[in-house]
Structure 1
Amino acid sequence: MVRLRRRTALGLLLGGASAAVIGPVDPVLGRHHGTPPARRQVPPVERENRAPGEPWWPPRGGRAADDRRRQIQGYASTTSVAPGGVIDFHVAVDPAGRFRVSVHRLGWYAGAGARTMLTSPELGGVPQPVPVADPTTGALDCRWPVSWRLPVPRNWVSGLYQAVFTSAAGWRSSTPFVVRDDRRAAPLCVVLPVTTWQAYNQWPRDRRVGRSLYNGYRPDGRRDPALRARAVSFDRPYADAGLPTHFDRDEDAIRWLERNRYDVSYATSLDLHSGRLDPSRHRGLVFCGHDEYWSAEMRRAAEAGLAAGTSLAFLGANSVYWHARVRAGRNGRPERVVECAKTAPDPAADASGPTVTWRDLDRPEQALLGVQYNGIVREPQPLVVRAADHWVWAGTGVADGDRVPGVVDGEADGVNAGVVRPAGTTLSSSPYPARQGGRRLQSTSVYETPGGAVVFASGTLGWTMALDRRGHRDPRIERATANVLDRIVGRSRTP
């Protein structure tokens, strides 16, 4: 407790003023120095966060659904939608009965974490079947009927939303979607990694038929990588109560961004893939969490944006690792299937090449990020600071060799000396025990392009936890992140 108070004091003394904060002083980042609040145009997300919020999960007075009984589960017809558009929800209820859908926008909301936007009328639900896996790819493609159609109100603010399905018996599950802003280009656009969410989706996690791009089930119910799917579909629920794997890492970053009043909008990796998200309209793209599966179109768009001056901030690790292919579902709906064979030859290979790692295609992720994946962290380790005089560490009070507890967690990136790397700065050198065996070295990286764009890679899945998660928040990581984003949007701090 004493250590926490000293860190907070350090943030107050050294943190300066956050270029993204107006009004109440953040205990770490301070107050914005610039246009007086009365004359400043309030961005949509900041204005939205003034509304009263309430926690959206875990369910209060309810019970989380599971894949064994599938009490209530559902999926959305699209991963993102613009205000004025339409999104359908396909819901199964077992046993048949009444249910409702509530829609929540995730954000800061004075610490509540979400705001309830609306609730559907009472609807009727019935059981729906688990489909037979595609005999070639293993994909599970549900064709459930539409249970409820939502015309998205035109005044809804861009963000990450959750549709929560609640049965009359109190069982609950959910599915995420993003509301884009196709009209206004915010300085920062947060890109949610839906292709990776779906890659990890083991629905149904029933020890029988569920499949992800990692595992299938043997007859004895044990997971087996040899039985993994080669393709996964968005036309199915997320496993159990509907929370994607690693989803909480994105939540951590979103709460922090909105708490500190950054002017942001939101999109998905499929928006980057399709061209709906044009990186050149933004000063920077922020990839919050675990963003492992990238199509050739995604990488081409990000690299073109970088060449045109759009910065890239990767706050997770193991990003841009697998080359994936995106195609339409069996019903013709576009962008509903993610393919990744993970072996060569790839029977479905096209002009973009086989779906193997980007390294196998001679386009290693380090060439873009400055670091690349090098292991799974067996247990959380401190991030060991390097290049403490660099502008990323400004105002944090750190010195070379300082250890920031628990930040190296989950998966880690490092510098591979034998792989091409942009000229930049390594900001940490953190030894960690790898699950694969031995000890490896985690590295955080930053570089700037000749055109003035910044590419930052935290090199650890623990970074966003240090931004906003209870028991993990660290003012040094908060300040370093603010330094990166303030540099991207062209704002400065006062001492």
Structure 2
Amino acid sequence: MGSEQQIRRWESGALAHAVSDPFGQGPLPWLRGSENYFDDTGHVVPWYVDHAPAPGAAMVPAPRISGPRTSDDVHRQIKGFTSTGAAAPGESIDFHVTVDPPQEFSIDIYRIGHYGGDGASKITTSPRLSGITQLPPLAADRTVSCHHWWLSWRLHIPSYWHIGAYVGVLTTADGHRSHVPFTVRDNHPADLLLVLPDVTWQAYNLYPEDGRTGASLYHAWDEDGRLLGEEDAAVTVSFDRPYAGAGLPLHVGHAYDFIRWAERYGYDLAYADTRDLHAGHIDPTRYRGLVFPGHDEYWSVPMRRTTELAKENGTSLVFLSANTMYWQVELSPSPSGVPDRLLTCRKRRGPGKSALWREIDRPEQQLLGIQYAGRVPEPSPLVVRHADHWLWEATGAYEGDEITGLVAGEADRYFPRAPLPETESRVLLAHSPYREGGLLRHQETSLYRAPSGALVFASGTFAWSPALDRPGHVDTRIQRATANLLDRICKRD
């Protein structure tokens, strides 16, 4: 492979992502149509569509010359991050932005939601800001940080803003664009607390994806620009840096799919990040249910302890993805003392115990009811079981029905030799065969009621949230089943 093609793939923001996220980032309304990148095979595809197009679909879309262009991690035309985690109305969010060449830029603030099908709404726009080229990222032992970047803009969050998931869209005067996600939260009571998996997002972040410097908990580069695997990846990653590629985290679309659907139907949602759960910024027992809408693989001890305590106090738990709570991690302060800005996961390297929860005698199944089984190379049907259960009520699903493509990405199942949680009742609501490397595997969907009365649901597949509101993936049976679950939780039934 020639260096030019490698460079273009580095710029794409897709090299390390295409094989692991079957649903891409999700179609965000202000990015439709003009954004192209190279997938893992070197083909040009729109960044927001599936990595595996339908048979007969065109692989190469017609290019669009006009309109904003996505910034890349090689030239860093515009990239940014926030040095603040989630913030409340009345507080501030600090943006640190680099622009090359130096020029004016602006930041449009969008809130994710249904908004009549638009998927997001522009809330405000910054003044025209003077952009500077910040110093290159610093790297030490594979840990990449931009904590030395100057403050570019401080957003004061008005008291009247709605809590929720937000995205800052950074645009230069010459038309390059990047993105910065953030969360606005408060302490007001609500039926459901939506927990955005920012810890897992950062674990996958390969910024800068430039073939030289970038590193995640999965990948790093060698001196020849080759992508290395976990054995050579970072042990610690920093939140003080942009996200690779377009500036949005891998799998962020799964959370946005749930948000659009839930807000469309009027569910009473509060918002938080997993670091809020870790740091004790929220009291989960105030809510009837916690919803984990996307891939949520990396958990600290305080995250798990807080979630288990919530369940013991009657707060229900809803896990809408797979491979949840797989790795145990630590969060620590930045060198300047800002808490929870460094994420460490030692995985299988070095002295001490493994960082897998299941290998330190605390398997995920003890909380979830099922646990990670493996990758799903090609989307497969989810096969309905116990169709007479209330979860499947009015969905039109019958025993043994196959819901096409709903087992995808990664899958969970029940492990007979792993301990189960204490339950009042327990049922597996799907049992779905699929093949991995020629071997027959199976996926399962779990629901149990804890002695406290809390319900704990685990979908066991990446594809559940996209089935709620992702164009091309919506399934009315999954929409109704999810509504049946959330309605029971909100009514404490």
1:125-163 Cα shifts (integer Å, max 9, x gaps): 11123323223x634343101000111111111100001
Shift of 1:58: 4.4
- Whole-Å Cα distance in 2 between the matches of residues 434 and 490 of structure 1? 40
The structural deviation recorded for 1:440 is: 1.0
Shift of 1:355: 6.5
Aligned to 2:159: 154
Residue 220 of structure 1 aligns with an amino acid whose one-letter code is D
Task: Verify: 1:286 aligned to 2:291, yes or no.
Answer: yes
Q: Are residues 1:188 and 2:192 paired? A: yes
- Identify if the C-alpha distance between structure 1 residues 59 and 116 changes in structure 2 by more than 3 Å, giving closer, same or farther: farther
How many Å apart are 1:397 and its aligned residue?
1.9
> Larger % of strand: which?
2
Query: Are the aligned partners of 1:318 and 1:372 in contact in 2 as well (CA < 8 Å)?
Result: yes
Kept after mapping to 2: 8 A contact 1:231/1:339: yes
Query: Which residue is equivalent to 2:390?
Result: 391
Q: 1:134 aligns with which of 130, 140, 151?
A: 140
Tell me which residue corresponds to 1:82. Answer: 88
TM-score (norm 2): 0.85
Q: Which of 417, 433, 436 is the equivalent residue of 2:435? A: 433
- 2:476 corresponding residue in structure 1: 475
Q: Within 2, Cα distance between the matches of 1:139 and 1:372?
A: 31
- For residues 291-310 of structure 1, the aligned pairs below 5 Å read 291-310=296-315
C-alpha separation between the residues in 2 aligned to 1:99 and 1:389?
Answer: 56
**1:452-491 aligned within 5 A:** 452-490=453-491
Match of 1:376 in 2: 375
Name the aligned partner's letter for residue 466 of structure 2. M
Match for residue 57 of structure 1?
Answer: 31
* Aligned-pair CA distance for 1:438: 1.7
Change (3 A) 1:337 1:265: same
Aligned position for 1:325: 330
Are the aligned partners of 1:56 and 1:113 in contact in 2 as well (CA < 8 Å)? no
Query: Structure 1 length as normaliser, TM-score?
Result: 0.84
Counterpart residue type for residue 412 of structure 1: A
Q: Deviations over 1:76-135 (max 9, x none)?
A: 012200000011000000001110111111000010111111111111111123323223
Residue 267 of structure 2 corresponds to residue 262 of structure 1: yes
Helix, strand or coil at the partner of 1:285: strand
CA contact (8 A) 1:342 1:356 kept: yes
Q: Secondary structure in 2 aligned to 1:262?
A: coil
User: What SS is found at the alignment partner of 2:213?
Assistant: coil
Gaps of at least 5 residues in structure 2 are 1-27, 35-66
- Residue of structure 1 in register with 2:122 after alignment: 116
Report if the CA contact (8 A) 1:194-1:268 is conserved.
yes
Q: Say if 1:56 and 1:104, in contact at 8 Å, map to a contact too.
A: no
Amino acid at match of 2:485: V
Match of 1:199 among 183, 191, 203: 203
Distance 2:280 2:444 in 1: 31
TM superposition outliers: structure 1 runs of 4+ over 6 Å: none
1:211·1:217 contact (CA, 8 Å) conserved in 2? yes
Change (3 A) 1:487 1:75: same
| CA distance in 1 between partners of 2:185 and 2:313 (Å) | 22
Higher relative contact order (CA 8 A, sep 6+): 1
Q: Percent identity, please.
A: 50
Letter paired with 2:91: G
Q: Residue deviations 1:187-226, cap 9 Å, x none?
A: 1010000000000000011111110000111222221122
CA distance, structure 1, for counterparts of residue 189 and residue 95 of structure 2: 28
Q: Which residue of 2 aligns with 1:37?
A: none
Residues 70, 240 of structure 1: 8 Å contact kept: no
SS at match of 1:92: strand
Question: Is the 1:379–1:409 contact (alpha carbons within 8 Å) kept by the matching residues of 2?
Answer: yes
Q: Which residue of 2 aligns with 1:210?
A: 214
Secondary structure, counterpart of 2:314 in structure 1: coil
| Contact map agreement 1:381 1:406 (CA 8 A) in 2 | yes
When residues 57 and 356 of structure 1 are mapped into structure 2, their CA distance, relative to the original with a 3 A threshold, is: same
Deviations 1:27-51 (A, max 9, x none): xxxxxxxxxxxxxxxxxxxxxxxxx
Q: Which amino acid is 1:421 matched to?
A: L
